[in-house]
Amino acid sequence: MATAAHDLRATSARPDMTAALMRETGLTDACLRQFVEDFYAQVRCDPVLGPIFAARLTEWEPHLARMTDFWSSVALMTGRYHGRPMEAHAQLPVDWSHFERWLTLFRQTATESFAPDGAAHLIARAERIARSLHIAVEDSRASAAPRLRPTDRGA
Ligand code: HEM
């Protein structure tokens, strides 16, 4: 497996860790790219999520490439994604029901695409990140709420 880690040096910042994760999950960059394409094909047709993406994305290829790097970083720790997902979602017209819908499509596509270990690995991470993004959306809307000042605490 030293060879696998060696081959990964061009595509991963942590080749040993990526090789171990690939072994444990059965995931690869190539199958993550296919998964991203299949998942967003569903999202684009979805009556609730499709219009939200259509209003913001005119070119899909850069988004698919970015999302492949994102999932490669999250699932295989390749360190290839450098972006700001919280900022990208903070102003979207979404509530938890949109995240639930997104997760339903994600779980379906992951379960159809991968063996159980790989699907579970991705789904657990998607669920955790969806919760964080939802909090970011809620926080950006709460910006008009009064902020705590030092004198408000423990008074
Ligand atoms: C309510 C469900 C969601 C909607 C409607 C949504 C919508 C979008 C849209 C429209 C963009 C493109 C933003 C732009 O380029 O201007 C985007 C980017 C992105 N989304 Fe989502 N998203 C959702 C949930 C999620 C979840 C749950 C994840 C992760 C698990 C995620 C990860 C990302 C990432 C990494 C980007 C790229 C951000 C960047 O680097 O620019 N999204 N999303």
Q: State pLDDT tens for residues 9-55.
A: 889 999 999 999 999 999 999 999 999 999 999 999 999 999 999 99
- Structure confidence at residue 123 (pLDDT): 98
Q: Is the CB of 102 under 6 A from ligand 1?
A: yes
Q: Is the CB of 92 under 6 A from ligand 1?
A: yes
Q: Answer with the residue of higher pLDDT: 5 or 115.
A: 115
Instruction: Please count the helices (runs of H) and the strands (runs of E) in the chain.
Output: 8, 0
What average pLDDT does the structure give for the chain?
92
**Confidence label for 143 from pLDDT (cuts 50, 70 and 90):** low
CA distances from 1 to 6, 21, 31 (A): 9, 12, 20
Q: State pLDDT tens for residues 122-141.
A: 999 999 999 999 999 998 88
122, containing H or E segment: helix 116-141
Residues 6+ positions from 57 with CB-CB distance below 8 Å: 63
**For a pocket test of ligand 1, which of 57, 63, 67, 89 has the largest count of ligand atoms closer than 8 A to its C-beta?**
89
- Structure confidence at residue 2 (pLDDT): 54
| Gap from CA of 15 to ligand 1 centroid (Å) | 27
- Structure confidence at residue 141 (pLDDT): 85
Range with lowest mean pLDDT among 65-74, 126-135, 141-150: 141-150
- Structure confidence at residue 155 (pLDDT): 46
- Structure confidence at residue 6 (pLDDT): 72
- Structure confidence at residue 7 (pLDDT): 82
- Structure confidence at residue 86 (pLDDT): 93
| Gap from CA of 28 to ligand 1 centroid (Å) | 22
